[in-house]
């Protein structure tokens, strides 16, 4: 399984009064990684908007394992979990670069909505190609029954 990795450095404004990263900022680090991955495979928000779609996160599960502090360098790892249904599910792990200790892990689920806010089950050719590129990046075959993400 291929894993996408990026690094983030904890900035001062991301820590609380105890000097520990405020919990919601870990989700920002995951979003930074997801945005870099989507840019790499050409699945940009502008493409979604131009073709009349949005891709909200509808489910998020996070496990906080240890803490990070100001100036730590964190490694964010993403992997795609293949689905039969119309969704993208990413597993993620955030590690301390210095110690290798897991700081947080979890899973997020995104679905595609059309301009009217209804779930989409059949993609246009351009978007379907980008979803295939995403699967290819991770070395995954799109599941047989899958008609869209």
User: 96: domain CATH number?
Assistant: 3.10.129.10
Q: What is the pLDDT of residue 126?
A: 83
Evaluate whether residue 149 is within a structural domain.
no
Q: What is the pLDDT of residue 7?
A: 98
Across the beta sheet with 88-96, what order do the strands follow? 4-9, 73-81, 88-96, 102-110, 57-64
Residue 25 DSSP class:
H
Report how far residue 98's alpha carbon sits from residue 69's, in angstroms, rounded to the nearest whole number. 12
Evaluate whether residue 48 is within a structural domain.
yes
Structural domain total, the chain: 1
Q: What is the pLDDT of residue 143?
A: 61
Report how far residue 119's alpha carbon sits from residue 113's, in angstroms, rounded to the nearest whole number. 4
Residue closest to 110 by CA, chosen among 120, 99, 96, 97: 120
Evaluate whether residue 97 is within a structural domain.
yes
Q: Mapping DSSP to helix (H, G, I), strand (E, B) and coil, where does residue 55 land?
A: coil
Classify each residue of 86-119 as buried b or exposed e, where b means 16 or more C-beta atoms within 10 Å of its C-beta. bbbbbbbbbbbeeeeeebbbbebbbbbbeeeeee
Look up the pTM and report it.
Answer: 0.86
Bin 100: left if φ > 0, else alpha if -120 < ψ < 50, else beta.
left
Evaluate whether residue 36 is within a structural domain.
yes
Q: What is the pLDDT of residue 48?
A: 84
Q: What is the pLDDT of residue 112?
A: 87
Q: What is the pLDDT of residue 71?
A: 97
Q: What is the pLDDT of residue 144?
A: 52
Q: What is the pLDDT of residue 91?
A: 98
Q: What is the pLDDT of residue 149?
A: 46
Question: What domain range includes position 100?
Answer: 4-137
pLDDT tens by residue, 61-103: 999 999 999 999 999 999 999 887 778 999 999 999 999 999 9
Tell me the mean pLDDT per 10 residues along the chain, length 149: 93 97 97 95 86 91 98 97 86 98 97 88 81 87 54
Evaluate whether residue 145 is within a structural domain.
no
Evaluate whether residue 28 is within a structural domain.
yes
């Amino acid at each position: 399984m291929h894993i996408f990795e990026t690094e983030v450095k904890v900035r001062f404004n991301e820590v609380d009064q105890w000097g520990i990263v405020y919990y919601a900022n870990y989700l920002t680090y995951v979003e930074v990684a997801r945005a870099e991955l989507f840019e790499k495979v050409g699945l940009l928000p502008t493409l979604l908007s131009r073709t009349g779609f949005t891709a909200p996160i509808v489910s998020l599960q996070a496990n906080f394992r240890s803490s990070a502090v100001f100036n730590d360098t964190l490694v964010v790892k993403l992997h795609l979990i293949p689905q039969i249904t119309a969704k993208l599910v990413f597993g993620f792990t955030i590690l301390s670069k210095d110690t290798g200790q897991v700081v947080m892990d979890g899973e997020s689920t995104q679905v595609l909505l059309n301009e009217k806010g209804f779930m989409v089950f059949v993609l246009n050719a351009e978007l379907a190609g980008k979803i295939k590129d995403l699967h290819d990046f991770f070395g995954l075959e799109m599941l047989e029954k899958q008609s869209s993400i």
